[in-house]
């Protein structure tokens, strides 16, 4: 690993409704508002990362230039995956892919945010143990 690179800790999303997305990431995934410079831009964190929420320009649609399959949120313990899954399910959010323990010992499930972006909650032994 390049000693200058610390890892992927920042993602910026263009969304249709900033407050709806902020509420979703705060309520469902426990993120905190780090900075809100204006109503069209809010920066969230879970303590070691930064998720930028930007309003999609009026009339614009997400383009085909690049495509993200999903973004993942790491949890510290395998049981935490099930706890977050219960929270998601309790809010009436459907799973896209159900809870699963993978061959490598990881455990995860997937659901969508308000703009349809696929979210994975993941316990991954090599990463989770470093939290």
Reduced to 3 states, what is the DSSP secondary structure of residue 88? Answer: helix
What was the pLDDT predicted at 19? 97
**25-60 tens-digit pLDDT:** 999 999 999 999 999 999 999 998 999 999 988 887
Helix runs in the chain, H state only: 18-29, 78-90, 125-128
Per-domain residue ranges of the chain: 8-58, 69-131
64-107 confidence digits (pLDDT tens)? 545 677 899 999 999 999 999 999 999 999 999 999 999 989 99
pLDDT score recorded for residue 102: 92
Tokens 């973004």 identify what position?
71
Instruction: Kindly report the CATH number that applies to the domain delimited by 69-131.
Output: 3.10.180.10
Question: What does the pLDDT average to over 5-32?
Answer: 90
State the average pLDDT over residues 8-28.
92
Best mean pLDDT range from 8-12, 62-66, 96-100, 124-128: 96-100
Shared fold status for 8-58 and 69-131: yes
CB contact burial 63-82 (16+ within 10 A = b; e otherwise): eeeeeeeeeebbbeeeebbb
How far apart CA 88 and CA 106 sit, in angstroms, is: 19
- Report how far residue 42's alpha carbon sits from residue 87's, in angstroms, rounded to the nearest whole number: 23
Task: Identify which of 35, 27, 28 has the alpha carbon closest to the alpha carbon of residue 10.
Answer: 35
Helix (H) or strand (E) holding 120: strand 118-123
pLDDT of the residue at 69: 76
> Which tokens hold the place of 20?
């709806």
pLDDT band at 5 (very low <50, low <70, confident <90, very high): low
Q: pLDDT higher for 7 or 65? A: 7
CATH 3.10.180.10 fits 8-58, yes or no: yes
């Amino acid at each position: 690993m390049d000693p200058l690179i610390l890892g992927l800790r920042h993602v910026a999303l263009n969304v249709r409704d900033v407050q709806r997305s902020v509420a979703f990431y705060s309520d469902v995934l426990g993120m905190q508002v780090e900075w809100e410079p204006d109503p069209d831009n809010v920066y969230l964190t879970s303590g070691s990362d930064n998720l930028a929420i930007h309003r999609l320009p009026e009339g614009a649609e997400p383009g085909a230039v690049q495509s993200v399959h999903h973004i993942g949120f790491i949890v510290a313990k395998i049981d935490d995956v099930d706890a977050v899954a219960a929270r998601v399910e309790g809010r009436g959010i459907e799973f896209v892919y159900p809870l699963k323990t993978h061959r490598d010992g990881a455990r995860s499930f997937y659901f969508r945010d308000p703009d349809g972006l696929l979210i994975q909650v993941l316990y991954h032994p090599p990463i989770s143990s470093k939290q």
